Structures are given as structure tokens and as C-alpha cells.
Amino acid sequence: MSTSTQTKNIENEKTTEVAVAPAMPVGTVEVSNESVSGEICKSDLQIPSLKLVQQVGDLGELFTPGSFVLNNEHAISDGEVPTTITVAHWSKYYIENLEYGSDQTPDTAKTMKEVMEKGGTTEWSKDAPPTWNPVGVATCLVEGEDDLHFPFEYEDKRFAIALWTMRNTAYRRAGRVIMTAAAYNLKEGLEYGSWSLTSKRETLGKNKVFVPVVKTGGRNEEKFAAWIRQLSR
């Protein structure tokens, strides 16, 4: 075949162009807001916290002890009236115990094996307390009323996403209940179960503190569970 014939055949070939949507860079978030421009990363977003108010501390001076507070600024329950939550995701890690008032940053570990490699313990040994404690972090969907603090709407209900960090007594009383459900009752996903959240006052040693109480609140339908997965992940 001559060179001129090859050139002619190439010119007659049709090229099909396929439009491919540009992929979102890893770690970025799509924000549907005309007043926002530029690349928005997950690290730019701050998820509100969910905390139980104790008598001591800054929150105890602003809110009623025993109440649950969203983002350190909005009381969602006095602790007696149940608040409905759904745990969308659960994570666990270990944190080093430091003396009260220490200015050091505690070390963390993802597994018990890492704790042991660092020379730590997670159980009492005779009179010696553990040098590390487990911590549970629950990404929760909290049901509320106003659209300012609860910006997400599903059917006729409003919700907020919040991070509930559980340590010590909160971990033992609430965290273990949630993990047990994940292992048995809610194997298909924690988003399929709702919880009724309240608090109660207990005497622990020489101190009186408020502890969280979680009770099964019912089973979520598939459509609602799918909405939670899309919203939280």
C-alpha cells in the first residue's frame, strides 16, 4: 500500500470522543453552594460534637448537668427526655493514660497489639490500673427540631450529624452496648438500628457523675438506612 493511500485511509477514519467527568481529588468534598468557591477538603469541615454535661468543667457552668449538648452550644435534651440517635459508623482506638493535669499529649494506638508493643496494658494488674484505655467514636445521626442545628431533613424529621467520643464509664455503659449490637443484632449495619439516649446520675467511688444510657429504639427501614449511609459516608 502506498503512502498516499495510507494517509487517505487515516483521514477517513472517524474518531469517537467519550466525555468523561473529571474525578474528584482524593479527600475533597463537593459542596453545592454558589457562595463557595475553590477546592473544599474533608479537613475543612468540622463535624459537631455530642457531649454529656457533668457538674465539673466549662459545660457544667453553661448547661444543666446530665443534659446532652450539640457542639458545645445547643442543649438537645435534659437527659431525662429521650433523644433518638442512629449510629452510622463506629471506630475504636486506645489512648495512653496520663496523670491529671499533665501537659503532655497522650499517645494513641489502633490495636491492642500496638499497645503491648509500646509496653502498655489495658487491664488491671493487682492494684495497678491499666496504662491505656479504649476509646469509642460514634458518628451519630441525632434527631432534633430546628433547621439551624439540625440541617438534614428526611421526610418530616430533621437531623444533625455529630461525633460522640466515649471514654471510661461512657465507653463501658454505652460503647459496649453499641459494639454488641454491631456483632449480633445489627450485623448488616449499625444504621439499621435507632437508640433512645438518656442519662442518669451514679456514684463512682467518691464521685457522683452522670452516665449515658442507651436503649434499643427500634429498627430503621431500608430506605432510611440507605439515606444515612449516603449522608455520613
Q: Where are the alpha helices (DSSP H) in the chain?
A: 3-12, 58-62, 112-117, 168-170, 176-183, 222-232
Q: How many CB atoms neighbour CB 32 within 10 A? A: 5
Q: How far apart are CA 171 and CA 163, in angstroms?
A: 14
pLDDT tens column, 66-107: 999 999 999 999 999 999 999 999 999 999 999 888 889 999
Report pLDDT digits (tens) over 141-183. 999 999 999 999 999 999 999 999 999 999 999 999 999 999 9
Pairing between strand 193-204 and 83-96? antiparallel
Please state the pTM of the whole predicted model.
Answer: 0.83
Q: Give the single-character DSSP code of 28.
A: B
* DSSP SS3 for 214: strand
